[in-house]
Structure 1
Amino acid sequence: MKIRFYLLLLVLGGVLQTAVCAQTSNERILVQLDKVISQKEKYRSEREAAIEQLKQRLHYASSNEEKYKLCGELFNLYLHYQADSASLYIKRKEYYNSLQRHPDRDIEIMINHAEVRGVMGMYNEALAELQAINPHQLNSPNREYYYFTIRACYGWMADNTVDKTVQEKYLRQTALYRDSLLEIIPKGNNHQIILAEKLILEGHPDKAIPLLNKVLTSSLGQQEKAYAFYTLSLAYEAKKDIDMEVYYLAQTALIDLTSSVREYAALQRLARLVYHQGNPERAYTYVSCSMQDAVACNARLRFLEVTEFYPIIDKAYSDKKAQEKRLERILMLSLSLLAISLIVLAFYLYHGMKKLSAMRKDLSQTNKELVAVNKQLQQTGKIKEVYIARYLDRCVSYLDKLEQYRRSLEKLAMASRIEELFKAIRSEQFLREERKNFYNEFDKSFLELFPHFIRDFNNLLTDEGKIEPKPGEILNTELRIFALIRLGVTDANRIAHFLGYSLATVYNYRSKIRNRAKGDKENFEQEVMNL
């Protein structure tokens, strides 16, 4: 049971996949067809250009033979494009033939008349023209042309007849002339296509499809290819394979429209199918295109075929558009309410974001201040660490030196060398050397903490006012004063006491250096403290 169930699932899955693939393939080709319809004017201009070129050649043709041939080409271009103009060039063919009459041409012109009247829906007149011809007396090209035309004429009459009995009569005639055509037409693509058509109408579409597929692998002109595609659509219609029928009708319509043919059957049949598949918009586009072309060509049968189905598609299209408009109004109302809600929400969000922005700004400023304070604390800690270590060492050194100095004085006193003792006591050499050593230690310690101080300090001064220590100096007096200021010692009395200068001397140095500042002289010392 399980195995059967899984097999059933696989089969269903395969069928579903095939259907989806066909649908996807059809959608691609239908989109391509939609694009071609939107560019229909471009293809019409190309056909008009080809017609105009032939007209120019006809105008400058010198021989009646060439003029007759060019009129025949113009007739063929106009036949399924503009039937009235095709009739005009039949008359011109008659004129050029009358100048040098040829019996085969007389027959060709009669069949031309019948063919164009069949396109225009004048079936009785077309049959009257054709029945006046004895096909057994015709040459091979005219006989083949005759059977093609009379078969098509009876086919059109069958399509245009409501009475089933009369329709069957016309279909029998169509089949008879098709058989006659198959007897005389040379073996080749056209023979195979007509044979496939016969097989389809006799209820053997499965035999017709391989024949047509083989034809499509050979080199075909556009008209032959359209004929093969259309016959394939009939085969798949007989098999009730809608997707493949749609595909081959779309292929036929593509060739019709890119060739700028206006008398055709594929597009209106395709319109019916896509309508039944639930796409009234596309069906409306196809049926509208078909109606415009049928009117422009004066193809009565095609116009009747379109008008028969046009009201149904038009109503479905109108209903769908009305429903879309209702949905659009509902959607617009919903969007309006949503927009109002969003505006209100945006208003509240704006105020909330404004408050949040202010808080972030305050927080950012606080963070900056904290970073600055932390940096200052780190620097202060480093200064304390360096200077405490240095000056503890210095104090111990001073104590050692004072001990040595005391012992030297003690030795002089014990030796009763009074004069040398007084001389040593009165000498300032010891203090000068110690002060010098003290300042050297201070300078070294400071530049360890602030290695770029001299460069940064000079950047605050004008070029003429820059200060550089002399050879052998680490810092001179001016630099040492501002080094103390950088360390936070801004009181003039403390600076004067530290350096052993008078208060006036310190003021003079500070004032002199301040006057050399490049920027604001009032904020100069603050800038030094920020170095």
Structure 2
Amino acid sequence: MMIKKIFAIIIPLFYMVPVHAQTSKADSLWKILKLELLTENNYIRQKEKKIEKLRNKLSAVPATCYPDRYKLLSELFNEYSAFRFDSAITNANKLIALSKQLSGKQHLIQSQMGLARVLVKSGFYKEAFETISEIDTIGLSGKFRYDYLNLRGMLFDEIGAYNNDAYYATGYRKAARKEFEKAGSLIDPSELEKTINMAFSPGAGQSTPPDAGFYYDYLLNHDLSEHQIAIIATRISHAYSGEDKLMLLTLAAINDIRSATKETFAIFLLGQELFKMNRNDDAYVCMQEALGNAAFYGTRNRAAQIESVLPLIASRLIEEKQHDKEMLWIGIVLFILVAIVLLFQLVLFRKQMIRIEQNDLIITEKNTELEDVNGKLWESSRIKEELIGLFFKTCSSYIETLDKVKRKAQHNIKLGKYQDATQVLGNVHIQKEKIQLFSTLDSVFLTLFPNFVSSFNALLRADEQIELKEGEMLTASLRIFALIRLGVTDTETIARILDYTVNTVYTYKARMKAKALVPPEQFEQKIMEIKFTDER
């Protein structure tokens, strides 16, 4: 049996094609919903602070100031109506009692309908019927009549959903539709109501209702409260299915959390929809949240509905976990088989890999050495090119100068102008020519090593660094070490090039080494490490 299961998994693997799933808007909203569930208590605390402020305001209003007390009690009731059932009922009864002290019956009707609405949401259908029957409907018109008929329709609809049987539920649903139709015929629907109705009955010129994305954008771009968005999104979701329905229900559930609405139907419907789509883990999260909300608010009918669905989700989750456990064991067996095969292959190829790595290491080292040698040869070649060019250029200049002097001197001697010949020879200034030669040498050297002076100073103590005068390229000390960097390391050769004595060269070198940050024996090596720059 185990072997058959293994083959049942292995064979499809050969036909699998990678699929790149595109994250839908519903999936993005689901991630937001999970984050909001983690911070749900923050919204509850905000709601409780708001309620506490209203209670403090109410306690500060005198008992005989009926209009102000009614206004604050209405606000307090609205906060409680979708938050806590018992507090909502208490405030509704206070509103009814206070309404009797005010002139006109509209306050009383509003208070009674508010109480009935909370009773309907909480599953107290008998009490809701009694409260609705107490409403004085004589002369009731306009918005009040519309709200009254909608309330009756909602009551019948909730009873039908709660019974959910083949006989009585049908009658209640028919009665609900009848009441909703009566309400709809009383007043012209607003723009918002017309837009909502388009989801169920497309308007003129439309063959199909707008897509769910239209309503998503519509709800977020209009001036609606979070509680209103949740109510409307839940209502519209009944016109759609699949991902569209998920998107709207998830949007509603998010806004229920943000408005601290505990009498919430959206999270329950979302859990049911996820269960139908076999997203059992997510469905279980929703149902747990819905059950917690029902317990928090005190919704008997919703708690009963949830408790009837939760065992089905739990049993499916158990089946999935058992299936996953079996798949895990099969995967372990497959892994062991593959590991054994790979182990033999590793044993066969291990020595070859080691040998290849060693050879690669040797090749890398040789390449590094070769690159270093090539770099030095190329640097030496470039330096020689520059120095040879300097040599020929200087020699050519001196030969030309000597030729001019020779001709002038011979000419004056032939004419017997010995004094003029002597003057011509005296115009040859050897010292000036040396300075010019050194200047040319400095210029060529700094072309090859533009950072030489700064690199040289970096080897010296801060108070001993060399500062060049204006127009000066290299000092005598720098010129000695410049020749060393060019590869002229013999002290006598340096002395002859610069027209110094050997002792003078030794003295300059010793002074610089004494000022260095590095040991004297390492100073010349550091000079040789100054980087060569080829500017071509």
Which category of TM-score, normalised to the shorter sequence, fits these structures?
0.5 to 0.7
Letter matched to residue 299 of structure 1: T
Aligned residue in 2 for 1:57: 57
Aligned residue in 2 for 1:510: 502
Aligned residue in 1 for 2:237: 233
Is 1:283 aligned with 2:287?
no
CA contact (8 A) 2:287 2:310 kept: yes
TM-score, normalisation: structure 2: 0.56
Q: How does 1:336-347 map to 2 (within 5 A)?
A: none
Aligned residue in 2 for 1:472: none
After TM superposition, give the deviation of residue 165 of structure 1 in Å. Answer: 0.6
Question: Aligned equivalents of 1:291 and 1:195: distance in 2?
Answer: 29
CA contact (8 A) 1:199 1:208 kept: no
Higher share of residues assigned helix? 1
The partner residue of 2:441 within 430, 434, 452 is 452
After TM superposition, give the deviation of residue 358 of structure 1 in Å. Answer: 4.2
Question: Aligned equivalents of 1:194 and 1:100: distance in 2?
Answer: 37
- CA displacement, residues 9-63 of structure 1 (integer Å, 9 cap, x when unaligned): xxxxxxxxxxx99984544555555555454344334433332232122111124
Distance 1:155 1:382, change over 3 A: closer
Distance 1:311 1:509, change over 3 A: same
Distance 1:444 1:108, change over 3 A: closer
Q: How does 1:289-304 map to 2 (within 5 A)?
A: 289-304=289-304
The partner residue of 2:151 within 144, 149, 152 is 149
Q: How does 1:23-42 map to 2 (within 5 A)?
A: 24-31=24-31, 33-34=33-34, 36-42=36-42
Question: Aligned equivalents of 1:446 and 1:73: distance in 2?
Answer: 100
Letter matched to residue 287 of structure 1: M
Aligned residue in 1 for 2:138: 137
Question: Aligned equivalents of 1:24 and 1:313: distance in 2?
Answer: 24
Q: How does 1:363-442 map to 2 (within 5 A)?
A: 363-371=370-378, 374=381
After TM superposition, give the deviation of residue 80 of structure 1 in Å. Answer: 1.8
Distance 1:27 1:125, change over 3 A: same
Letter matched to residue 452 of structure 1: L
Runs of 5+ consecutive residues of structure 1 not aligned to the other structure: 1-19, 201-205, 397-432, 464-478, 496-505
- The DSSP-based 3-state class of the residue aligned with 1:68 is helix
Question: Aligned equivalents of 2:192 and 2:183: distance in 1?
Answer: 8
- The DSSP-based 3-state class of the residue aligned with 2:87 is helix
Aligned residue in 1 for 2:188: 187
Distance 1:297 1:22, change over 3 A: farther
Question: Aligned equivalents of 1:304 and 1:145: distance in 2?
Answer: 28
The partner residue of 1:120 within 119, 122, 139 is 122
CA contact (8 A) 1:193 1:228 kept: no
- CA displacement, residues 422-471 of structure 1 (integer Å, 9 cap, x when unaligned): xxxxxxxxxxx9xx99x999996997698437999xx99xx9xxxxxxxx
Is 1:48 aligned with 2:55?
no
CA contact (8 A) 1:135 1:143 kept: no
- The DSSP-based 3-state class of the residue aligned with 1:116 is helix
Question: Aligned equivalents of 2:307 and 2:501: distance in 1?
Answer: 110
Is 1:270 aligned with 2:270?
yes
Moved more, 64-73 or 313-322: 313-322
CA contact (8 A) 2:200 2:209 kept: no
Question: Aligned equivalents of 2:286 and 2:270: distance in 1?
Answer: 8
Letter matched to residue 87 of structure 1: I
Is 1:158 aligned with 2:160?
yes
Aligned residue in 2 for 1:305: 305
CA contact (8 A) 1:196 1:207 kept: no
Aligned residue in 2 for 1:246: 246
CA contact (8 A) 1:196 1:208 kept: no
CA contact (8 A) 1:249 1:270 kept: yes
Distance 1:276 1:440, change over 3 A: same
After TM superposition, give the deviation of residue 83 of structure 1 in Å. Answer: 0.6
Question: Aligned equivalents of 1:104 and 1:290: distance in 2?
Answer: 35
Question: Aligned equivalents of 1:197 and 1:384: distance in 2?
Answer: 96
TM-score, normalisation: structure 1: 0.57
CA contact (8 A) 2:150 2:183 kept: yes
Question: Aligned equivalents of 1:347 and 1:88: distance in 2?
Answer: 83
After TM superposition, give the deviation of residue 289 of structure 1 in Å. Answer: 2.8
Q: How many residues align?
A: 418
CA contact (8 A) 2:117 2:151 kept: yes
Aligned residue in 1 for 2:418: none
Distance 1:232 1:25, change over 3 A: same
Question: Aligned equivalents of 1:178 and 1:126: distance in 2?
Answer: 17
Question: Aligned equivalents of 2:309 and 2:232: distance in 1?
Answer: 26
Question: Aligned equivalents of 1:387 and 1:225: distance in 2?
Answer: 91
The partner residue of 1:87 within 82, 86, 89 is 89
After TM superposition, give the deviation of residue 389 of structure 1 in Å. Answer: 8.9
